[in-house]
Amino acid sequence: MALPSTDTSRHDNTLAVIRTLRDRGPAARVDLGTLNGISSATVTSISAELLQQGLITERPPEAPRPNGRGRPKTLIELAPNAACVVCVKLSINEIQLVVGDFAGQVRHSEHHTVSTLTLNADDLEALLEDKISALCTRQLTGFQRLAGICLAVQGVVSSQSGTIIWSPALSFRNAPISARLAKRFHCSVLLENDANCIASLLAAQPAYADCPNLVVIMLGYGIGMSVLISGVPFLGANGSAAEFGHSKYQPDGALCACGRRGCIEAYASDYALYRAAADPLELPVGDSAHPSEQQMQALTQLALHGNPVAKRIYAEAGRALGVGIANVLALFNPDLVLITGSGVRGFDAMQTAMHGAIDNALVAELRGTTRIESCAWDRDMTCMGGIAIALNATDSQTLLDSQTAREA
Amino acid sequence: MALPSTDTSRHDNTLAVIRTLRDRGPAARVDLGTLNGISSATVTSISAELLQQGLITERPPEAPRPNGRGRPKTLIELAPNAACVVCVKLSINEIQLVVGDFAGQVRHSEHHTVSTLTLNADDLEALLEDKISALCTRQLTGFQRLAGICLAVQGVVSSQSGTIIWSPALSFRNAPISARLAKRFHCSVLLENDANCIASLLAAQPAYADCPNLVVIMLGYGIGMSVLISGVPFLGANGSAAEFGHSKYQPDGALCACGRRGCIEAYASDYALYRAAADPLELPVGDSAHPSEQQMQALTQLALHGNPVAKRIYAEAGRALGVGIANVLALFNPDLVLITGSGVRGFDAMQTAMHGAIDNALVAELRGTTRIESCAWDRDMTCMGGIAIALNATDSQTLLDSQTAREA
């Protein structure tokens, strides 16, 4: 058995220091040592190297403490402009681009309305190249390097091969997208399912630190899911695991956007709710197959203000969601199910029926002690998760590049 | 960071040698080295120690090879009587006890008919103590030590705390069973779900070596499941994951033994099939709530020979199973789903409807390339898996005990 080399250990310790600074902000060397179980001497040596590479900076010492006890600690922090990453979120008829700096902060965000369903594979590549190029020209000039790009896509993706297998935002399938963008922009390009980006972001929050087995359900135009097992996204054999939206509520039930019947999504997604309501209720005019936020807000308000038709529609959606969650509890037995996504706007109108369906479906031993909670939605959550994933994935390369640049 | 000590590495290498001998039978030292990436000198040193401890024996050298080339290799093998383990399988109205030797071979098996549902927690403990004690007196005298006991139980168990949380074989719940037996028999007592025992056994077979993400479905009185993710049983937060039998086919559908409605088990288990058939068909007399193998064979034969009522009942069971498997494919995306258990006798009468339901439920991208196969049932499979698990779990202790005995 080979013993671990000192270099590997030095590299791991350096990454640990960088990630602690990113998660916690400016910190003293001694605290970085304690938090990561590294000696003070090692932190001092690592930070000297990172300072020389321009990856961290020292804060000017604080004023002496009023009580006069102890010397003020010198804090170090990540140099935000040492590198940046870009997250591109592709969803139905919208592309969002977000720039994150080396310290993990969002520095720029832009949205573009695009008829994604009319694109072919070449159009999509050309479009992404154009948008990212324009972003590089306008927004990335202050950064020393573009470390990586994360594509966050609704649907089934193979992260390993960089292929979008199937997305509700696209009318074509099996698009190998990562390789071409990586060649064009000379950086690593990660492809991630959008729900996995959000789950990674939420899992890092202190409120969910005791929930290593975490299920995140994303309600919206479609219904997505991410499953973290012991903190790691569960992808299955080919990356198509956790397709909660297409698990079944009623065999041969309502028609789903996937073309099959009875999926949870065919009852609890935005288009399903709007479809059920469009005929009996007077709702804002618009694309009823792809209802807008305004249309969905109007429908949700009707349900929350007691309109019996809207209440019935949301209750049925809650039952479908509840039966689906019951299956998830029986099969995954997670610590926590978090429900979020833009569709969480209607959660209050669904949750009584949802909890009723779960309790009706499972005996107490299988219902277990899993917490089931909703989580306020922020449309930037996906990209914030994508930026965190891209930074973590590219830290090693950034270190190497900085070292090479210094030596050159 | 602490460097791994030489002792840890020596211990791991010793365990690797023992497990290779158990999996492959007698082997030459040089081959044991190659298979485990250990030097010949280390294997020679390890085998000298194991010989001294009585854990392995040398085979008499084979006759020289007919072609005269090469010296015949001396093979070493595990000493079968160096230790034994007992697997106790608890299922509805039956207890099976199996003795496995140190080489992993079954040396004795016995079945007892017991009204498990009338037992209370004390009765169960007393019964298991009696049966294992009697087994020790009659069957274990030739072995140097009882290394461990594996309890394989239908239902939800917490392996960590050694508690049977809920079993269809028992009318009480939350029975902490392992600790008392461990105290009584002075050995480790593992508690495992029966399906996990079978999955561990199947996963070790060469035919499934390329399927690290394996789902095993057990059909029978109840319906169980085991999920291996990257070869490791997936237990969930509290051990109640993979409860496939109680995932839903039809919300508010047929009554399940668990007391809820619409579970897969309420359509495709033995009791569900028999319940649906008992009224319209003339079947062997017996306990229709717990049909015997003979009763189930009679019903299966009717379906396979074209009786339209029996055919319809099995087709409905196949549809329920198919919808359940569709959910498993969407959520777990495994390499392989293996269907086994005593209920696999009726698989031929179910499988057309089952495959139809899966294809009807999922688009091709979510159906994926998962193999779905049945696997012939052998009632000893659970205990064979339990013996393998118990041996693997107790090898370290066996090594320690042998060393202590030698030094004393």
Q: How far apart are CA A288 and CA A275, in angstroms?
A: 7
Q: Provide, as residue numbers in chain A, all residues whose Cβ is less than 8 Å from the Cβ of B357.
A: 251
For B106-162, the pLDDT digits (tens) are: 999 999 999 999 999 999 999 999 999 999 999 988 999 999 999 999 888 999 899
State chain B's mean pLDDT as an integer: 92
Q: Which of A15, A45, A78 is the last residue of a domain?
A: A78
Estimate the crossing angle of helix A270-278 against helix A308-332, to 10 degrees.
Answer: 150
Whether B399 and B351 map to the same domain: the answer is no
Q: What does the DSSP 8-state code read for residue A116?
A: G
Q: Coil, strand, or helix at residue A61? A: coil
β-partners of residue B191 are: B151
Q: Please tell me the number of Cα atoms within 13 Å of B395 on its side-chain side.
A: 24
Pick the residue from chain A with its C-alpha nearest to B165. A365
B264 occurs within a structural domain: yes
User: Are A156 and B365 in contact (CB < 8 Å)?
Assistant: yes
The closest of A269, A258, A267, A248 to A319, measured between CA atoms, is A267
Pick the residue from chain B with its C-alpha nearest to A167. B365
Q: How far apart are CA A402 and CA A396, in angstroms?
A: 10
Whether A359 and A249 map to the same domain: the answer is yes
Comparing CB atoms, the residue among A165, A243, A252 nearest residue B331 is: A243
Q: Provide, as residue numbers in chain B, all residues whose Cβ is less than 8 Å from the Cβ of A4.
A: 1, 3
Q: Taking the CA atoms of chain B, what radius of gyration do you get in angstroms?
A: 24
Q: Provide, as residue numbers in chain A, all residues whose Cβ is less than 8 Å from the Cβ of B248.
A: 248, 323, 326-327, 361
Mean pLDDT over residues B310-325, rounded? 98
Band (B64; pLDDT cuts 50, 70, 90): low
* Residue A317: exposure state from Cβ atoms within 10 A (0-12, 13-18, ≥19): buried
Chain B interface disruption, residue of A232, A366, A370, A372, most B CBs within 10 A: A366
Whether A233 and A108 map to the same domain: the answer is no
- Residue A294 CB: number of other CB atoms within 10 A? 11
Q: Provide, as residue numbers in chain A, all residues whose Cβ is less than 8 Å from the Cβ of B36.
A: none
CB B194 within 8 A of CB B89: yes
User: Are A332 and B330 in contact (CB < 8 Å)?
Assistant: no
CB B40 within 8 A of CB B29: yes
User: Are B326 and A248 in contact (CB < 8 Å)?
Assistant: yes
Cα of B334 to nearest chain A Cα, Å: 5
Q: Which of B78, B112, B136 is the last residue of a domain?
A: B78
Band (A1; pLDDT cuts 50, 70, 90): very low
Q: What does the DSSP 8-state code read for residue A60?
A: P
Whether A274 and A179 map to the same domain: the answer is no
A70-79, A189-198, A349-358, A364-373: which range is least confident on average?
Answer: A70-79
Q: Taking the CA atoms of chain A, what radius of gyration do you get in angstroms?
A: 24
User: Are B335 and A234 in contact (CB < 8 Å)?
Assistant: no
Band (B3; pLDDT cuts 50, 70, 90): very low
State chain A's mean pLDDT as an integer: 92
Whether the predicted pLDDT of A5 surpasses 60: no
Mean pLDDT over residues B262-272, rounded? 97
Pure H helices in A63-188 = 121-139, 178-185
- Proportion of chain A above pLDDT 90, given as a percent: 78
- The tokens for B213 are 């993400």
Question: How many inter-chain contacts (A to B, CB under 8 Å) are there?
Answer: 156
Q: How far apart are CA B224 and CA B243, in angstroms?
A: 6
A281 occurs within a structural domain: yes
B29 occurs within a structural domain: yes
User: Are A328 and B331 in contact (CB < 8 Å)?
Assistant: yes
User: Are A333 and B241 in contact (CB < 8 Å)?
Assistant: yes
Q: How far apart are CA A196 and CA A216, in angstroms?
A: 8
Pick the residue from chain B with its C-alpha nearest to A334. B237
B362 occurs within a structural domain: yes
User: Are B258 and A363 in contact (CB < 8 Å)?
Assistant: yes
Comparing CB atoms, the residue among A9, A331, A363 nearest residue B331 is: A331
CA distances from B200 to A71, A152, B345, B384 (A): 59, 36, 22, 10
Whether the predicted pLDDT of A3 surpasses 60: no
Q: How far apart are CA A329 and CA B240, in angstroms?
A: 9
Q: Please tell me the number of Cα atoms within 13 Å of B317 on its side-chain side.
A: 33
Chain A interface disruption, residue of B256, B333, B372, most A CBs within 10 A: B333
Cα of A57 to nearest chain B Cα, Å: 27
| CATH at residue B52 | 1.10.10.10
For A121-149, the pLDDT digits (tens) are: 999 999 999 999 999 999 988 999 999 99
- The tokens for A263 are 């999926």
Higher pLDDT, A275 or A279: A275
Comparing CB atoms, the residue among A213, A241, A335 nearest residue B333 is: A241
Q: Provide, as residue numbers in chain A, all residues whose Cβ is less than 8 Å from the Cβ of B366.
A: 156, 166, 240, 243, 246, 258
| CATH at residue A108 | 3.30.420.40
Whether the predicted pLDDT of A4 surpasses 50: no
For B337-364, the pLDDT digits (tens) are: 999 999 999 999 999 999 999 999 999 9
Chain A interface disruption, residue of B170, B248, B249, most A CBs within 10 A: B248
Whether B398 and B303 map to the same domain: the answer is no
- Give me the pLDDT at residue B408, please: 73
User: Are B258 and A323 in contact (CB < 8 Å)?
Assistant: no
A104 occurs within a structural domain: yes
Q: How far apart are CA B248 and CA B226, in angstroms?
A: 17
B178-182, B290-294, B403-407: which range is least confident on average?
Answer: B403-407
Whether B340 and B355 map to the same domain: the answer is yes
User: Are A328 and B323 in contact (CB < 8 Å)?
Assistant: no
User: Are B330 and A369 in contact (CB < 8 Å)?
Assistant: no
β-partners of residue A111 are: A96
DSSP assignments along A373-405, one per residue: EE----TTHHHHHHHHHHHHHHHHHHHHHHHHH
User: Are A248 and B361 in contact (CB < 8 Å)?
Assistant: yes
Whether A142 and A56 map to the same domain: the answer is no
- Proportion of chain A above pLDDT 70, given as a percent: 96
For A151-160, the pLDDT digits (tens) are: 999 888 998 8
- Give me the pLDDT at residue A68, please: 60
For A41-59, the pLDDT digits (tens) are: 999 999 999 999 999 999 9
Whether B123 and B247 map to the same domain: the answer is no
Instruction: Give residue B159's domain range.
Output: 82-186+381-407
Band (B288; pLDDT cuts 50, 70, 90): confident
SS3 assignment for chain B: CCCCCHHHHHHHHHHHHHHHHHHHCCEEHHHHHHHHCCCHHHHHHHHHHHHHCCCEEECCCCCCCCCCCCCCCCEEEECHHHCEEEEEEEECCEEEEEEEECCCCEEEEEEEECCHHHCCHHHHHHHHHHHHHHHHHHHCCCCCCEEEEEEEECCEEECCCCEEEECCCCCCCCEECHHHHHHHHCCEEEEEEHHHHHHHHHHCCHHHCCCCCEEEEEECCCEEEEEEECCEECCCCCCCCCCHHHCECCCCCCECCCCCECECHHHHCHHHHHHHHHCCCCCCCCCCCCCCHHHHHHHHHHHHCCCHHHHHHHHHHHHHHHHHHHHHHHHHCCCEEEEECHHHHHHHHHHHHHHHHHHHHCCHHHHCCCEEEECCCCCCHHHHHHHHHHHHHHHHHHHHHHHHHHHC
B50 occurs within a structural domain: yes
Q: Provide, as residue numbers in chain A, all residues whose Cβ is less than 8 Å from the Cβ of B247.
A: 326-327, 330-331
A192 occurs within a structural domain: no
Comparing CB atoms, the residue among A173, A237, A328 nearest residue B333 is: A237
Q: Which of A47, A78, A109 is the last residue of a domain?
A: A78
Whether B230 and B356 map to the same domain: the answer is yes
Comparing CB atoms, the residue among B4, B156, B366 nearest residue A365 is: B156
User: Are B333 and A363 in contact (CB < 8 Å)?
Assistant: no
For A91-125, the pLDDT digits (tens) are: 988 999 999 999 999 999 999 999 999 999 999 99
Q: Provide, as residue numbers in chain B, all residues whose Cβ is less than 8 Å from the Cβ of A319.
A: 251
Measure the CA dihedral B127/B128/B129/B130, to 10°.
50
Could you identify the residue written with the tokens 């779905």?
B372
The tally of domains found in chain B comes to 3
Cα of A253 to nearest chain B Cα, Å: 10
Whether B10 and B111 map to the same domain: the answer is no
Q: How far apart are CA B269 and CA B320, in angstroms?
A: 10
Cα of A349 to nearest chain B Cα, Å: 21
The closest of A54, A16, A58, A48 to A33, measured between CA atoms, is A16
User: Are B363 and A327 in contact (CB < 8 Å)?
Assistant: no
Q: Provide, as residue numbers in chain B, all residues whose Cβ is less than 8 Å from the Cβ of A239.
A: 333
Whether A235 and A140 map to the same domain: the answer is no
User: Are A235 and B333 in contact (CB < 8 Å)?
Assistant: yes
Q: Provide, as residue numbers in chain A, all residues whose Cβ is less than 8 Å from the Cβ of B258.
A: 363, 366
For strands A146-153 and A188-193, give the pairing: parallel
B233 occurs within a structural domain: yes
Whether the predicted pLDDT of A403 surpasses 80: yes
Residues 6+ apart with CB under 8 A from B206: none
Whether the predicted pLDDT of B70 surpasses 80: no
- Give me the pLDDT at residue B63, please: 67
CB A145 within 8 A of CB A83: yes
Residues 6+ apart with CB under 8 A from B37: none
User: Are A238 and B3 in contact (CB < 8 Å)?
Assistant: no
Q: Provide, as residue numbers in chain A, all residues whose Cβ is less than 8 Å from the Cβ of B252.
A: 360
Cα of A196 to nearest chain B Cα, Å: 14
The closest of A323, A330, A336, A153 to A227, measured between CA atoms, is A336
Whether B172 and B48 map to the same domain: the answer is no
